[in-house]
């Protein structure tokens, strides 16, 4: 609001002041030469008796227009120089980069002075000088921004399609760097304003009879002992106008930052509750249910081209229960977890008949629901390297969760962060809290992430492949840690993995997903007696050290189904050796069995040996043997 108010005043003055007070500001009054402030002249008069206040107001237009013009020129030239390496190739690019680097090594105002001497005094010379002096800075910014974008997959795709570099620059690169560049320019317009003031103050900027704030300051300085207001007033408005630009830039930057990082701290309420509970599986949530999900659907697209990525799933997680979510890549595991944590954004759409967390309806997107998500649900992501901010100390990052969601003072939050680092067995937690993520090993970073998820004393931890990026020994320690946390604090866990042996280590129950649906929900101890052919095939494909090494490793034949063209009937039918006509036409419902497990297969009762070519499939092996074989 302050930025908007200040900027509106500046713009209004730039437009209106010369029209309203232009004549009064130029009127010479020989009877009131170099006077101090009075009722007639609030800021006194200059050596020709002209009113100080009117001149400060009228000078707004020239000061602002010249600063904005110089900034625009600097940005355009910087854009050309910064994009040159991309457009002209490595050899020419190196020369341009070297010139930019040399120019940046000199103080900015020195370069402006250098050009002012070349172009001569006056408004045109000053504008050119300030614009040219700014260009190397913008060139560096553009080079960095281009470097950040040019490695992205969509640029590689455009190059593969044979698009020219200039076209890629205009179509793909510029739109992606425009926002930070514009923010930089707005922030630096204030600096341009100060540069003009500096040049005019030195007498090599704007020349009389034209006048800007710098020239008024120059004139005011000559009589500063008689009339201090004559120099101070233009100085003050320069500061206010520069502040207006800076505040605007920072506001835009903050907004842009929020937009791009919308996520855990500011969940996006896209989940919607559908009317009418389906509850076909008799999957009634009990009082002890931490999470109750019913008919969860995640779709993408619209206008008749909607693709269902998660196709109506139901499950309940009880207090202190650990539930695994397993399936091949693309089966919808992460989307399910992120939909529960309210972390999915447009264009994905989330709908659910029920999405209750600790008895609170998350689809309602109330303050209470948002607070619960922030304090009682922790999410651990796959890659700890990209999940921790590299520029923040680990302790401060953990503490931020508490200051944001629990509004505790920073000191208390930091003590809590150190405590959580101790919980996750980080040695010397107080010292480690002061370190940056790069000073941690991969396993320690993941434990720090788990510590961060524990900051709010969560009731549910969602761990999305938390051990995939770690080596086997570290994986084991992280899994043991999760198991300990679960036991000692009664935390429920939704553990996502494509690795059944990892799931087996900590989960009580496993949900097997295929093509966006749960096809089997089975207690861990009964996994060797899994009834869905897909679960059996997944189990059979776990390598075992006792398997016959002369035989090829077991795989699941065929490919996962394309979710934009799911066949009618059972989605697994094209890959299933048991599939018959019924499977290809009718989709089997997820039925609850007397054992309490659920399975979606017309042939769940048929006993088959898993499709493993070895004599003794791992699925049927002794659980101890499976553990040793990991």
Taking the C-alpha atoms of residue 415 and residue 402, their distance in angstroms, rounded to an integer, is: 10
H/E/C letters for each residue in 561-620?
Answer: CCHHHCCCCCCCHHHCCCCCHHHHHCCCCCEECCCCCEECCCCCCCCCCCCCCCCCCHHH
Pick the binder of ligand ATP from 205, 267, 318, 332 (CB under 6 A).
332
- Minimum CB separation of residue 166 from ligand ATP in Å reads 30
Site string for ligand ATP, 474-493 (x = CB under 6 A): --------------------
State how far the Cα of 273 lies from the Cα of 365, in Å rounded to an integer.
Answer: 10
Q: Any contact of residue 614 with ligand ATP (CB under 6 A)?
A: no
Rounded Cα distance, 338 and 560, in Å: 21
Instruction: Please select the residue that binds ligand ATP; options are 10, 231, 335, 452, rule is CB under 6 A.
Output: 335
Pairing of strands 509-514, 460-464: unpaired
Site for ligand ATP in 39-98 (CB under 6 A): none
What's the CA gap between 571 and 516, in Å, rounded? 10
CB of 74 to ligand ATP, least distance (A): 38
Cβ distance to ligand ATP smaller for residue 253 or 348: 348
Joined together, the tokens standing for residue 487 give 């036991």
Distance, in Å, from the CA atom of 463 to the CA atom of 478, rounded to the nearest integer, reads: 11
Tell me how far, at minimum, the Cβ of 394 lies from ligand ATP, in Å.
26
Tally Cβ neighbours within 10 Å of residue 318: 18
Nearest residue to 212 via CA among 57, 47, 12: 57
In the bound complex, what is the minimum distance in angstroms from residue 307's beta carbon to ligand ATP?
Answer: 7
Nearer to ligand ATP, 400 or 464 (CB): 464
Does the footprint of ligand ATP cover residue 331 (CB under 6 A)? yes
Number of residues that bind ligand ATP (CB under 6 A): 13
Cα–Cα distance for residue pair 79/82, rounded to 1 Å: 5
Binds ligand ATP (CB under 6 A): choice among 327, 374, 378, 466: 327
8 A C-beta contact, residue 507 and residue 525: no
334 touches ligand ATP (CB under 6 A) = yes
Q: Which stretch binds ligand ATP (CB under 6 A): 158-166, 331-339, 396-404, 499-507?
A: 331-339
CB closer to ligand ATP out of 18 and 263: 263
Closest CA to 50 of 31, 69, 74, 72: 31
Closest CB to ligand ATP among 327 and 456?
A: 327
Classified as helix, coil or strand, 422 is helix
Nearer to ligand ATP, 133 or 519 (CB): 519
* Positions 553 through 572 that interact with ligand ATP (CB under 6 A): 563
The span of 33-41, 138-146, 323-331, 487-495 binding ligand ATP (CB under 6 A) equals 323-331
3-state secondary structure of 286: coil
CA triplet 621, 626, 628: central angle to 5 degrees? Answer: 135
Q: Name the minimum Å distance from CB 341 to ligand ATP.
A: 13
- 348 belongs to the binding site for ligand ATP (CB under 6 A): yes
Q: Does 579 bind ligand ATP (CB under 6 A)?
A: no
Q: Which of residues 495-514 bind ligand ATP (CB under 6 A)?
A: 498
Closer by beta carbon to ligand ATP, 215 or else 313: 313
| SS3 labels along 515-570 | CCEEEEEEEHHHHHHCCCHHHHHHHHCCCCCCCCCCCCCCCCCCCCCCHHHCCCCC
Work out which of 48, 202, 236, 300 binds ligand ATP, going by CB under 6 A. Answer: 300
Nearer to ligand ATP, 159 or 498 (CB): 498
The reply to whether 309 sits near ligand ATP by the rule CB under 6 A is yes
Interacting residues toward ligand ATP by CB under 6 A:
300, 309, 327, 329-335, 348, 498, 563
């Amino acid at each position: 609001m302050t930025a908007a108010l200040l900027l509106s005043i500046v713009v209004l003055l730039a437009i209106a002041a010369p029209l309203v007070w232009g004549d009064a500001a130029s009127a010479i009054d020989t009877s009131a030469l170099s006077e101090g402030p009075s009722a007639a002249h609030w800021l006194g008069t200059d050596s020709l008796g002209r009113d100080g206040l009117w001149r400060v107001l009228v000078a707004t237009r020239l000061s602002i227009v010249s600063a904005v013009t110089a900034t625009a020129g600097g940005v355009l030239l910087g854009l050309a120089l910064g994009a040159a390496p991309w457009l002209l190739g490595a050899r020419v690019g190196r020369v341009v980069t070297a010139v930019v680097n040399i120019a940046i090594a000199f103080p900015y105002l020195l370069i402006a002075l250098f050009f002012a001497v070349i172009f001569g005094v006056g408004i045109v010379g000053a504008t050119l000088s300030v614009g040219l002096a700014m260009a190397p800075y913008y060139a560096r910014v553009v080079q960095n921004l281009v470097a950040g974008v040019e490695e992205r997959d969509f640029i590689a795709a455009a190059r593969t399609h044979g698009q020219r570099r200039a076209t890629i620059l205009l179509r793909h690169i510029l739109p992606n760097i425009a926002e930070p560049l514009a923010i930089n320019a707005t922030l630096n317009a204030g600096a341009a304003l100060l540069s003009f003031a500096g040049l005019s103050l030195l007498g090599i900027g704007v020349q009389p009879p034209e006048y800007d704030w710098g020239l008024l300051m120059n004139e005011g300085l000559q009589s500063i002992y008689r009339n201090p207001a004559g120099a101070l007033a233009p100085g003050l408005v320069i500061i206010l106008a520069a502040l207006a630009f800076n505040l605007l830039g920072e506001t835009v930057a903050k907004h842009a930052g929020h937009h791009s990082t919308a996520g855990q701290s500011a969940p996006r309420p896209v989940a919607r509750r559908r009317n009418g509970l389906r509850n076909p599986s008799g999957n009634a949530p009990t009082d002890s249910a931490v999470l109750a999900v019913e008919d969860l659907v995640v779709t993408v697209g619209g206008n008749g081209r909607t693709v269902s990525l998660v196709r109506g799933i139901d499950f309940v997680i009880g207090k202190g229960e650990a539930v695994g979510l397993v399936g091949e890549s693309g089966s919808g595991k992460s989307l399910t977890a992120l939909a529960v944590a309210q972390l999915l954004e447009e264009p994905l759409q989330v709908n659910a008949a029920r999405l209750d967390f600790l008895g609170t309806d998350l689809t309602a997107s109330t303050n209470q629901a948002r607070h619960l998500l922030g304090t009682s649900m922790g999410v651990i992501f796959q890659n700890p390297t990209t999940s921790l901010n590299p520029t923040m100390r680990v302790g401060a990052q953990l503490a931020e969760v508490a200051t944001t969601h629990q509004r505790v003072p920073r000191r208390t939050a930091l003590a809590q962060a150190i405590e959580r680092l101790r919980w996750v067995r980080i040695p010397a937690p107080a010292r480690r809290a002061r370190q940056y993520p790069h000073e941690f090993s991969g396993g320690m970073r993941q434990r720090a992430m788990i510590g961060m998820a524990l900051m709010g004393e969560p009731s549910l931890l969602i761990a999305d492949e938390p051990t995939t990026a770690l080596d086997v020994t570290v994986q084991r320690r992280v899994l043991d840690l999760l198991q300990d946390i679960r036991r000692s604090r009664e935390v429920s866990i939704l553990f996502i993995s494509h690795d059944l042996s990892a799931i087996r280590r900590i989960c009580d129950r496993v949900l097997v997903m295929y093509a966006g649906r749960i096809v089997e929900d089975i207690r861990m101890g009964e996994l060797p007696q899994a009834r869905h052919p897909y679960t059996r095939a997944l189990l059979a494909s776990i390598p075992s050290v006792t398997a016959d090494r002369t035989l090829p490793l077991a795989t699941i034949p065929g490919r996962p189904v394309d979710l934009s063209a799911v066949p009618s009937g059972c989605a697994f039918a094209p890959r299933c050796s048991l599939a018959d006509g019924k499977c290809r036409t009718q989709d089997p419902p997820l039925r609850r069995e007397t054992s309490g497990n659920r399975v979606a297969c017309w042939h769940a009762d048929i006993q088959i040996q898993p499709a493993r070519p070895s004599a003794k499939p791992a699925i049927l092996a002794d659980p101890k043997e499976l553990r040793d074989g990991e």
